Chain A
């Protein structure tokens, strides 16, 4: 049966240690969180652990949620911070530096079928890998801003709430990120 409680009510109940309320909350949002984590990290294996870590944080923070921030903003903020911290610590980990290339393989993401074009699946994969590599070369906040904009459909204002900065700071993150992507991908495509 569909539960009519609002997100706020569910979070309040979860804060009162009601795991069933939290189960419902997760059912509503786990797809979105997983999507963002996959897009940002490009690494499905890590994403599985990260999503659990994120919801554990959400559960612990449930009591501090106030409805004046939209639930998405709040949830995206926790997710974005967690992902950025994860990638930062991974960058410092020499174990992962060697695996960087493996993480770039677009295993997460199945190829879009493009029957209309003559492209082979291999070429599509190569392009996906190229885009992944270009995205991964961006500073993390630029990458997050562009991920939220392009794949989650957030506005600059919404992104500014998630990343806790001004709208003009978001504009700058997006501009610098897109400018860098344009240069990297432009050079790659001309090869």
Chain B
């Protein structure tokens, strides 16, 4: 092996990563070649210098924050699934926000209605009367669509 070839192997030699045969050859070369042994010394020094980056201390506990994100992630996935089921076409962020708002609003509306109207079960059609003649693509129209969809899905 030439010195150039040897030099490429010195680091692996220092890391103990060379097969025994090659390591032997390199070792005896280092013993008799001042240039290559100087190279080995410089690499060893560099290796030691890396330890100037001292130990990492005080590891924070990442568990609570990560688990909170995992739970939130689960909720988002459920909302996304509902959205993609309702609207197979991709929605803009604004539209998606509107739909989520509608879903929440309908839910709240049912709770309020069932509380104040004192009914055993909610009757969406009653609340929908207000929106009977909503123009297509309007919020009222979206409300009706979302509401029917939720009813059908039993949400």
Give A110 to B54 CA distance when docked, in angstroms: 6
Question: How distant is A175 from chain B, measured CB to nearest CB, in Å?
Answer: 5
Is B70 touching A22 in the complex (CB atoms < 8 A)?
yes
A186 touches B42 (CB 8 A): yes
Task: Confirm or deny: A64 has a beta carbon within 8 angstroms of a beta carbon on chain B.
Answer: no
Q: Is the CB of B17 within 8 A of A26?
A: no
Which B61-105 residues sit within 8 Å CB-CB of chain A?
Answer: 61-63, 65-67, 69-71, 73-74
B49: CB under 8 A from chain A? yes
Q: Are B55 and A34 neighbours in the complex by a CB distance under 8 Å?
A: no
In whole angstroms, how far apart are the Cα atoms of A174 and B16 in the complex? Answer: 13
Interface centre among B15, B57, B71 (most CB of A within 10 A): B15
Number of B positions contacting A (CB below 8 A): 32
Judge if B60 is at the interface, Cβ distance under 8 Å. Answer: yes
Contacts of B52 in A (CB 8 A): 112, 124, 127-128, 130-131
- Within 8 Å of chain A (Cβ to Cβ): is B53? yes
Q: DSSP class of A's interface residues: helix, strand, loop or mixed?
A: helix
Tell whether, in the assembled complex, residue B56 and residue A155 are in contact, meaning their CB atoms are under 8 Å apart.
Answer: no
Q: A185-B46, A186-B42 are in contact. Are A55 and B62 (CB under 8 A)?
A: yes
B59 interface residue (CB < 8 Å to A): yes
* B121 smallest CB distance to A (angstroms): 32
* Cα distance A150–B46 in the bound complex, in angstroms: 11
Give the size of the chain A interface in residues (CB under 8 angstroms).
48
B8 within 8 A of A: yes
Within the complex, which residue of B42, B47, B55 is in contact with A150, where a contact is CB–CB below 8 Å? Answer: B47
Q: B50 on the interface (CB 8 Å rule)? A: yes
Whether A156 sits at the interface, judged by CB under 8 Å, is: yes
Task: Answer yes or no: A109 CB below 8 A from chain B CBs.
Answer: yes
Given the interface contacts A48-B60, A127-B49, does A112 sit within 8 Å of B67 by beta carbon? no
| B62, B73, B74, most chain A CB atoms within 10 A | B62
Cα A181 to Cα B51 in complex, Å, equals: 13
Task: Tell me the smallest distance from the CB of A174 to a CB of chain B, in Å.
Answer: 6
Tell me which residues across on chain A come within 8 A of B49, comparing CB atoms: 127, 131, 181, 185
Identify the A interface with B (CB < 8 A): 17, 19, 22-23, 26-27, 30-31, 34-35, 38-39, 42, 48, 51-52, 55-56, 59-60, 106, 108-112, 124, 127-128, 130-132, 135, 146, 149-151, 155-156, 171, 174-175, 178-179, 181-182, 185-186
The 5 sampled A-B contact pairs (Cβ below 8 Å) are A34-B56, A109-B53, A149-B15, A151-B53, A179-B11
